[in-house]
Amino acid sequence: MFENNTPLCFVLISGQSFVNHNLYSKWHCSQHQKSPCFMSFSRKNSHFRMKYSLGFDFGTSAARASVIDRNLSIGTSRIIYVCNPIPLTTQSPIEWISALIQLTNSIPLSIRSSISRLSLDATSATCINLQDLNVLMYNSAIPKSSFKEFQNRIPLEHCSNSASSSLSKLLYWINLLQSDTTQQDFYFAHQADLLLASILGSVSINTDGKHSSLVSISKESQFPIISDWHNALKLGYDPYLQEYPDWMLNLISSSNKNTKVHLPNVEIPGFVIGKVSKNGVLSDLIDSECEVTAGTTDSIAA
């Protein structure tokens, strides 16, 4: 929960800072050259003509969305529009994307046409196997026998040392591919990662009919799946070093020699990762100049 119950969409996409600017700027600039979008920026930017921010919240029982005025400072944010929640019953990619479209479509056009930035949060450790769009929810644990095979190779106190962690689900899935002796690619995503990828157009999902199926993964981008510090924690990512640790990479590579695992590229929550794509699921609803930022988990969204 952020200070003053600041809405998620304001923290991630308003362009304002919720951290100490001086301390963060010194640390961040020493780490890499990216400038996170939640640092304040000049109001001369032309995007301020499009003044609203849209935030989606995908929780365990429903999806919600709200729009705020991004030109106001923290503590004085003004909610412009709140969408009616959409219940989530099947917890499938087709239902998530349908809710994403429904929520966006429910926003009046006069407001929607002025949205210049969007992001979302989703349930931590809800993961998707992009080979067949199989979903394991946040509270789904892999079989004990499978977890014991690699439990001792995960640091004892690490948050990924759990049968329901993102890392355990990833290892479980790639272990199931061991019988296949052909070289194959395996793409993994968290719930938030998949939804953002569908907006960015880097992942295309067929949502016709009762069942969803993966149509394509973009080869134009080196990292078609982008995650964030918070979602990637239970996958083993180290936000301090800003990298996947060696113990984790070694564990994955030794689990199945015939599988090339494509891990999500990890960004700072709120960092601009692209714009609404003409190939994305919101192309008919949101302006293509609208920026999309890396998200977070629903556990820390206000």
**CA–CA separation, 246 and 263 (whole Å):** 14
How confident is the model at residue 259, as a pLDDT?
Answer: 87
Alpha-carbon dihedral 270, 271, 273, 277, rounded to 10 degrees: 40
Report DSSP letters for 53-86, one per residue.
Answer: EEEEEE-SSEEEEEEEETTSPTT---EEEEPPPE
pLDDT in tens, the chain (302 residues): 333 333 444 445 444 433 333 333 333 434 444 433 333 333 334 444 568 999 999 998 999 999 998 776 655 568 889 999 999 998 999 999 999 999 999 999 999 999 999 999 999 999 999 988 899 999 999 999 999 999 999 999 999 999 999 999 999 999 888 766 677 889 999 999 999 999 999 988 876 655 566 667 876 666 689 999 999 999 999 999 999 999 999 999 998 878 889 999 999 999 999 999 999 999 999 999 999 999 999 876 54
How confident is the model at residue 185, as a pLDDT?
Answer: 87
74: exposed, middle or buried (Cβ count in 10 Å: 0-12, 13-18, 19+): middle
How confident is the model at residue 120, as a pLDDT?
Answer: 96
CA 34 to chain centre: 18
Predicted confidence (pLDDT) per residue in 210-252, tens digit: 556 666 787 666 668 999 999 999 999 999 999 999 999 999 9
Residue given tokens 């700072």 in the structure block: 268
**CA–CA separation, 65 and 80 (whole Å):** 11
Strand-pairing partners, residue 63, are 58, 86
- The residue extents of the domains of the chain are 52-300
**CA–CA separation, 104 and 56 (whole Å):** 9
Predicted confidence (pLDDT) per residue in 135-151, tens digit: 999 999 999 999 999 99
How confident is the model at residue 46, as a pLDDT?
Answer: 42
How confident is the model at residue 45, as a pLDDT?
Answer: 43
Instruction: Give residues with Cβ within 8 angstroms of 130, minimum separation 6.
Output: 186, 187, 188, 189, 194, 203, 214, 217, 225
> Mean pLDDT score of the chain, rounded to an integer?
81
**Per the structure block, which two tokens stand in for 112?**
């929607």
How confident is the model at residue 3, as a pLDDT?
Answer: 33
**CA–CA separation, 147 and 154 (whole Å):** 11
How confident is the model at residue 255, as a pLDDT?
Answer: 85
How confident is the model at residue 281, as a pLDDT?
Answer: 94
**Per the structure block, which two tokens stand in for 215?**
């149509």
Report whether CATH 3.30.420.40 matches the domain 52-300. yes
Predicted confidence (pLDDT) per residue in 242-279, tens digit: 999 999 999 999 988 788 899 999 999 999 999 999 99
Length of the chain, in residues:
302
How confident is the model at residue 215, as a pLDDT?
Answer: 67
